[in-house]
Structure 1
Amino acid sequence: MAAAAGIFIASYYFIRWLKNPTAKNLIVAGLIFGLAQLAKFSVFLLVPLFGFVALIWFLLKLQEEKNKARRLNLVFWSCLWRYLGGAILLMAVGYVFIVWPVYLFHVSHYPIAKQQQDTQFILSTFRVRPLADFIYWLAGVPILRALAQYGLGLAMVLQRATGGNTVYFLGQISNLGSRLYFPTVYLIKETLTLHILTSIALVLAIIGFFKSKIYRFGNLLEFLTSHIAEFLMLCFIALYWFSSISSILNIGVRHILPTFSFIFLLVAALSAGWLEKHLFCYLAFFQQKQPLAKKIIPLGILAVFSILIGWQMISVISVFPSFLAYFNELAGGPAGGYRYVTDSNLDWGQDLKRLAQWTQKYNIGQIYVDYFGGAIPSYYLGNKYLPWWGSRSPQDLNENGGWLAVSATFLQGGRGKLAPGFYDKNGYYNWLDKFKPVTTIGYSIFIYYIPPHAFDKTSIQ
């Protein structure tokens, strides 16, 4: 959320400077850009984004001056310095006056030799050796080692993105990544209302593109000049989605969350404009006492939008308080989401406290728990907690039976099939297919009751 907010706010002030390139606007935009960089390392994507948008704006202004028949030689260098040079200076302000001091504070008690040693160890497998060597060198320069620490963070993100993450996706287990992962989780994790409104907005945008003949060069230049903010949003969405889909790191819909604010804004703007047009039409027809037949279309559109907004509210509120586990109707709601994806899309260990409350409510003496999360089960469950793990033999439950709680991430990880080219243990929870969950805690922890001697006549694989 911090990254999404930082990207949104930094982009706003960048566009404000671009349209009015004063020294004050540059400094303010630069400082906010620097603050955004502290939110998350992926915010670094603003660097190429701002550079590209500044280049487009420079070309637009150059064309504008050309149309005014001014001396292009002088105008070229003036615009080049004002916009491209200004964009570089803006980002330099952020790094020099925000990022550098903050990291300098954090490494102030970090011995230089230790920082270099840690940097060398962490980047020992980093593939871009010139960059790794440069960061290592920076770590040894007292005044620059703060930037080395920031650079180390960026390098670790790149290293993580190429290393993959073992996940359950559409019935398979893999750490090789899938280009379908993020489109799929976005499709089933976001509300159908959003998808419908997005489809309407895309249709409206395409119609407007051809109706206004924006494809013509002159019209395109005029459109970009008056809609540079929207252009930046579209570029960021494309850049972030491309980098996410290209990476083999599939870690949940949260990874593409920084694009949501721009998606919501663009969809809302187009939808609101269309709705406003038909609302005015309806009011005009109403005041002029036109026949009912002429009111049907605007009235129908208003009704559809009202239904969509109501659907949005009910769909989201109905999963309270388990908002993390939200899945839309395409996935069967939050109760069906585990069949498609797990991990942070559904299960981040958030329901351990609810599990403890459930054991108290139903007087459960002891319960075996295979928990996915950062909390400590024994803290919440006390003496009721009995450790369990996927590779443990179910025969351990045969004599006395008992209660078993398994987090969805571990459960599906132990039932999914291995993707081609990926090798790991699997199938260790297939034996639970023979039992029906007694209940599910917050959609993320499955509770089973295993009767005594349940495996006497059953072969366990």
Structure 2
Amino acid sequence: MANSENRTGFHHWAHRVTIISLMVVHTGLVAWASWRYSPTQDEIGHLAAGLGVWKFQDFSLYRVNPPLVRTIAAAPLLFVDHEEDWSEYHPGATIRQEFDLGQRLFVANGTNSLWMLSLARWSCLPLTLIGLLICWQWGREIAGEPAGLVAASFWCFSPNIIGHGALITSDIAGASCGLLAAWQFSRWLERPSWRHAFLAGLSLGLALLSKLSWVVFFPIWPMLWVSSRVLTQSPRDLKKEVLQFILIMGTGINLLNLGYLFDGTGTPIGELGFYSTPLVGQKLLPGENLPQNRFRATIFENIPSPFPREFLLGLDAQKSDFEWGATNYFLGETKVADGWLLYYVTGLFLKVPLVLWVLFAWNLRSGLNDSALRKKQARLLPLIVPAVAILTLASLQPNLNSHIRYVYPVLPCLFLVAALGTAKWFRFTLFCLALFSISSLSVYPYSLSYFNYSIGGPSHGHKYLIDSNLDWGQDMIAVREWIAENPDSQPVRIKWRGFLPLEVLGIDAELAKTGEDRSGTLILSLHELQRLDSGFQKFQRERPIGRVGYSFNIYHVNSNNRSRNSTAESKINEN
């Protein structure tokens, strides 16, 4: 008996050491990537919008995302000396101001803005650790401690989690908070209580404050609750559960309103101005058309909104963005305001290490014949159903096919389902986890540009996807280092995916212009290389002399604007 207790105590201690180690490793990986990444395209807008919340209590800046992440990100700047430029700030403007304000913020602070951004990124580290901890806790509740540790390890070493978790955008924070909400709701479904209902409500509010996509919880949670009651054989108190479900929704909505400081809560529906087709009846372009409202002069006009004004306007703006679309690139093809039904499904497949898909499919297939495993998988439905709904809704909006990160709520589903069979296939699962980690770390710290080896790895990613899937302007610090290590490369011209002057990044070079014939070194963004309207497509026929990360090619250009063939290799990341 004593030996058994000793073994149990040792295993408990070893499991705790393992999960703490995973947290430390993940923090280190994300923190270092945060330091290495230059400002990405959206981050400058997020940081300015976060400061706008603290300074003006203005939630309209970057309204297409709720305020939680940007507010946390901007908090360290309250304690750091920095300059601000709000000369072009216009409260209540219908056009998006955050990118211009962000550019002014970074220009005002010069190279010091890179330190400011690192502080902002590091302040968001707890948000990605939430996802790791919930993967561990939910996995161990369903399938035991080893399964929880495997799921947490997938989160820890995922190139997608590391790459985007290093930024102050809301994608990974949203995945974490949505995972937390789904877990707490599942606990209430399995063991209804007032405590579980209150915690589920708090988690719902956090999810809604992190990512607009989680509005799918509102229609899905009632359906899951009704289905749970129908399928449950044990007697349950219907009246008590109804009241608890009301508590969940009420707590979530109230926390959402608190996050917006109740700004515009209770505004009559008819007083709001919208641009998207569902709320207007036609497409309207912000800045060129006056907002409208299809509920005016109807019986719904005077109904007070239970949600903050900017939350509703953010949903409307997001839908409008999807309707108007963008120039989209996929598998070597470009479309304007049009896209592909399988963009997100295919993109996910390419961006996730292959071995995880193998293990996920293995567990899913085994669940068809193994009732015990199938029951474990069913306990994940509060996460799987909303994630699949987000993937489906995104796929049905093909006008904006630019960012696979929109469907990252699917990732924790993959991690948990793949981990559920750990006890049954322990060695096979650990083998897959090891390959997963090696595949991810082989490209670190360029994790944002990760592509799996079904297409030959990230060196070939630009042939399939661009934008934030490959090149979001994150590798400019590595570009700066390459220029410093190659002084003979001058004069250097750069074409990159970003808004900031190169001086802000401490880079001694010029911005490349379309059609220039000057000799020298051209450092060309692979996003710009693939775009039809960039004017740099001719370099697709040229051989680069090297690369920086997986997002820039380097060319030597002579006077007739031809790139000289060379076997020279870049000193930066030739893996």
| Alignment TM-score, normalising by the size of structure 2 | 0.59
Q: For residue 275 of structure 1, what is the amino acid of its counterpart?
A: W
Other-structure match for 2:550: 443
**Correspondence list, 1:388-407, <5 A:** 388=513, 392-393=514-515, 396-397=516-517, 400-407=518-525
Cα separation, 1, equivalents of 2:245 and 2:181 = 13
Query: Is 1:246 the equivalent of 2:396?
Result: yes
Other-structure match for 2:350: 188
Q: For residue 407 of structure 1, what is the amino acid of its counterpart?
A: S
Cα separation, 2, equivalents of 1:181 and 1:448 = 31
The one of 401, 404, 412 equivalent to 1:261 is: 412
Give the total of aligned pairs.
375
Q: Deviations over 1:104-157 (max 9, x none)?
A: 36669xxx9xxx99x53xx245442389455999xx99x969622211112222
Deviation at 1:54, TM superposition (A): 0.8
4+ residue segments displaced more than 6 Å: none
Contact 2:186 2:379 in 1 (8 A): yes
Cα separation, 2, equivalents of 1:350 and 1:125 = 32
**Correspondence list, 1:359-438, <5 A:** 359-363=483-487, 364-388=489-513, 392-393=514-515, 396-397=516-517, 400-414=518-532, 425=533, 428-438=535-545
- Shift in alpha-carbon separation, 1:265–1:383, aligned structure 2, 3 A: closer
Query: Is 1:273 the equivalent of 2:430?
Result: no
Deviation at 1:378, TM superposition (A): 3.0
Q: For residue 198 of structure 1, what is the amino acid of its counterpart?
A: F
- Shift in alpha-carbon separation, 1:361–1:35, aligned structure 2, 3 A: same
Cα separation, 2, equivalents of 1:261 and 1:437 = 38
- Shift in alpha-carbon separation, 1:453–1:23, aligned structure 2, 3 A: closer
Contact 2:275 2:320 in 1 (8 A): no
Cα separation, 2, equivalents of 1:444 and 1:32 = 37
Q: For residue 523 of structure 2, what is the amino acid of its counterpart?
A: A
Cα separation, 2, equivalents of 1:411 and 1:134 = 46
Other-structure match for 2:567: none
Q: Deviations over 1:236-278 (max 9, x none)?
A: 23222211221213232211111211221111012x13225xx
Q: For residue 25 of structure 1, what is the amino acid of its counterpart?
A: H
Cα separation, 2, equivalents of 1:126 and 1:147 = 21
| Alignment TM-score, normalising by the size of structure 1 | 0.73
Deviation at 1:386, TM superposition (A): 3.4
Contact 1:182 1:245 in 2 (8 A): yes
Identity of aligned residues (%): 24
The structure with the largest helix share of the pair is 1
The one of 219, 223, 230 equivalent to 2:380 is: 230
Other-structure match for 1:165: 326
- Shift in alpha-carbon separation, 1:325–1:377, aligned structure 2, 3 A: same
Q: Deviations over 1:274-302 (max 9, x none)?
A: 225xxxxxxxxxxxxxxxxxxxxxxxxx3
- Shift in alpha-carbon separation, 1:453–1:164, aligned structure 2, 3 A: closer
The one of 437, 440, 449 equivalent to 1:313 is: 437
Cα separation, 2, equivalents of 1:16 and 1:188 = 33
Contact 1:349 1:374 in 2 (8 A): no
The one of 253, 259, 264 equivalent to 1:102 is: 259
**Correspondence list, 1:20-59, <5 A:** 20-59=191-230
Contact 2:449 2:469 in 1 (8 A): yes
Contact 1:368 1:385 in 2 (8 A): yes
The one of 200, 204, 212 equivalent to 2:362 is: 200
Cα separation, 2, equivalents of 1:17 and 1:129 = 38
Cα separation, 2, equivalents of 1:25 and 1:313 = 35
The one of 127, 131, 149 equivalent to 2:310 is: 149
The one of 317, 325, 330 equivalent to 2:449 is: 325
RMSD: 3.3
Cα separation, 2, equivalents of 1:354 and 1:169 = 26
- Shift in alpha-carbon separation, 1:132–1:51, aligned structure 2, 3 A: farther
Cα separation, 2, equivalents of 1:437 and 1:256 = 33
- Shift in alpha-carbon separation, 1:361–1:227, aligned structure 2, 3 A: closer
Aligned residue for 1:168, secondary structure, equals strand
Aligned residue for 2:479, secondary structure, equals helix
- Shift in alpha-carbon separation, 1:50–1:253, aligned structure 2, 3 A: same
User: Structure 1: 5+ residue runs without aligned partners?
Assistant: 66-74, 215-222, 277-301, 415-424, 456-461
Q: For residue 328 of structure 1, what is the amino acid of its counterpart?
A: N
Aligned residue for 1:447, secondary structure, equals strand
User: Structure 2: 5+ residue runs without aligned partners?
Assistant: 1-171, 282-291, 563-575
The one of 454, 459, 465 equivalent to 1:341 is: 465
Deviation at 1:2, TM superposition (A): 1.2
